[in-house]
Structure 1
Amino acid sequence: MSRRGWILAAALAALFGTHEAFAAGGFAVTSSTFKDGERLPQKAAGNNKSNPNCVGESVSPQFTLLNPPEGTRSFALLMFDPEGRPPGGVSHLVAYGIPASVTSFAEGELSRPSDKFIGGIGTAKLSVYTGPCTPPGAPHHYIFTWIATDLDPKALKQGMTRDEVIKALDGHPKGATGIIGTFSHS
């Protein structure tokens, strides 16, 4: 892992503290698809057949949210690869307007439109999960950030980008948690 990667991982661990939050009964996310800090399975990789780096099926991971903060009305989920397409990174998923009653997603559920979330626009201009198409070399880090908000699930318009969602959420987070997966082209 590069120095930048270690710094990023340490900063995210300090910010989110998933393991510690889970142990203390705080807001946390788990996945049966992969463990925090470990490699995503190949089926989670992208499936664009015209790109030789897309070696998977673009199946979104499973997620379970635990202990959302009091007053949570909705969640947002942002999946981001900071090493992809330097210098801006790659936004693989922008999902928001997730009602507080929705605390889990099955594998593949974020890979298709659903009434459980509003699909924003990622780097690939899609409104659903798009798996990694990591080039050969060092693994990239895929950061899944879950944000609990005090916003009504229908408060934000459809088709927002990651940056637009972040701006719209200013002043509305109740808490955040995250999980990081890695992937490299094998």
Structure 2
Amino acid sequence: MRQNPARRAALLDAAIEVLAREGARGLTFRAVDTEAKVPNGTASNYFANRDDLLTQVGHRFYERLTPDPGMLAASMEGPRDRGHVTRLMHDLVERISDFRSGYLALLELRLEATRRPELRRLLTERVRADLDFNVDNHLRSGMPGDETTVVLLYLALNWLIVERLTLPDVFPADRIHTLVTDVVERVLPGPGRPD
């Protein structure tokens, strides 16, 4: 297998675009090569088989979505109140929504994971690790709420993102801000309504 990290990343980014646009059935080495604008056969030099490609796409999605340490540190500045949690949730929804193709590809991966045990294991471990990190970070930072608060925000906002990216007319764009604020307010009651 080839080891050029930049080429591998470009192929995985192309695979994300193919998954988002064509679905799992459309994800072939040839489609990835075409999307990446590389010679036919390039993807097959980097990935042992389709399962390997799918698994590495899962890794790449999280790699691209994970905030850098500076952004993470900046997000922890300011008061530890419901207003701050609300701003963090707005930022999260926007960051994920801005990577539309990545999130749609992740939904395709989740469906494929129902048929591919190795992919299911990867996604389960990754989602569990992210959720554990978010709970730990929330509690250590002194934000209001508890583990259940983080889990409920995760569940509610993930589905809001699914609606926003797959059926955008269910909740028009001008309602998303209010809905995120309302979710935080209902899950994390407290004095005052944040902006």
TM > 0.5 fold call: no
Q: Which has the higher strand share?
A: 1
Which is greater in Rg?
A: 2
Q: Which has the higher helix share?
A: 2
Q: TM-score scaled by structure 1?
A: 0.24
